[in-house]
A and B are shown apart, each in its own frame.
Chain A
Amino acid sequence: TQLLEQSPQFLSIQEGENLTVYCNSSSVFSSLQWYRQEPGEGPVLLVTVVTGGEVKKLKRLTFQFGDARKDSSLHITAAQPGDTGLYLCAGAGGGGADGLTFGKGTHLIIQP
């Protein structure tokens, strides 16, 4: 069973601060996806990283896939209250045959 561990589980910071959340596994994934979920809604896909060492930027969000394709990080610069939500990482198995394995998520609260 492939497990994805996310840290921290909970994070509450002030508006304007920077933060990083992590997604780690002992297994290799063919790709890794990051989602954001707001209360009462389904997760929304933010980004997919495929290549080891890949870095993708989405405005103030920077996503990195580890060289060995076992871990990933999400860095938010100058966090805003609108960034509040549950951030989930999900790994895809080799060939996509096993579906997605989700981490339990990081609950992020940005206080104004």
Chain B
Amino acid sequence: KAGVTQTPRYLIKTRGQQVTLSCSPISGHRSVSWYQQTPGQGLQFLFEYFSETQRNKGNFPGRFSGRQFSNSRSEMNVSTLELGDSALYLCASSVSGGGYEQYFGPGTRLTVT
């Protein structure tokens, strides 16, 4: 089976802009979770989607949003970018989601200048 894919792998944006990141889960996985990873805070949970519905949400501002399509592919959007949004954004897919074993993509490295 193909693994989790994320596009783009690298992105440079300017403060105030918005960005959309994409994630294609492993075939048959219905849950997609998004995480932000920074050196200072580590891996922080953003949100989880299951069958096109947001099931869990982490403690991030409303500028961070996401959605999931009927084919389980997911997108994450960040509006009004801030310097502190620079991070590695990881997507993980799982058969059932929640606390079940997750399979991560390689991530999108976002740099905000």
Interchain CB contact under 8 A, B42 and A105: yes
Q: With a CB–CB cut-off of 8 A, which chain B residues contact A104?
A: 41-43
The answer to whether residues A30 and B104 also contact, given A99-B56, A101-B45 and a CB cut-off of 8 A, is no
One of A40, A45, A91, A98 near B102 (C-beta < 8 A): A45
Which residue of A has the minimal Cβ distance to B48?
A99
What sequence of 0s and 1s flags, for each residue 30-45 of chain A, a beta carbon within 8 Å of any chain B beta carbon?
1101010000111111
Q: Which stretch of B61-69, B72-80, B89-97 is in the interface?
A: B89-97
Which residue of B has the minimal Cβ distance to A98?
B56
Interchain CB contact under 8 A, A96 and B104: no
One of A41, A93, A98 near B106 (C-beta < 8 A): A41
Which residue of B has the minimal Cβ distance to A4?
B42
CA–CA, A66 to B103, complex, Å?
24
Which residue of B has the minimal Cβ distance to A33?
B101
Question: Does B107 sit at the interface, judged by CB under 8 A?
Answer: yes
Q: With a CB–CB cut-off of 8 A, which chain B residues contact A58?
A: none
The answer to whether residues A95 and B90 also contact, given A42-B106, A43-B104, A102-B43 and a CB cut-off of 8 A, is no
Interchain CB contact under 8 A, A42 and B98: no
CA–CA, A25 to B72, complex, Å?
33
Chain B residues with a Cβ under 8 A of chain A = 4, 33, 35, 41-45, 48, 56, 58, 90, 92, 96-107
Chain A residues with a Cβ under 8 A of chain B = 30-31, 33, 35, 40-45, 48, 88, 90-93, 95-105
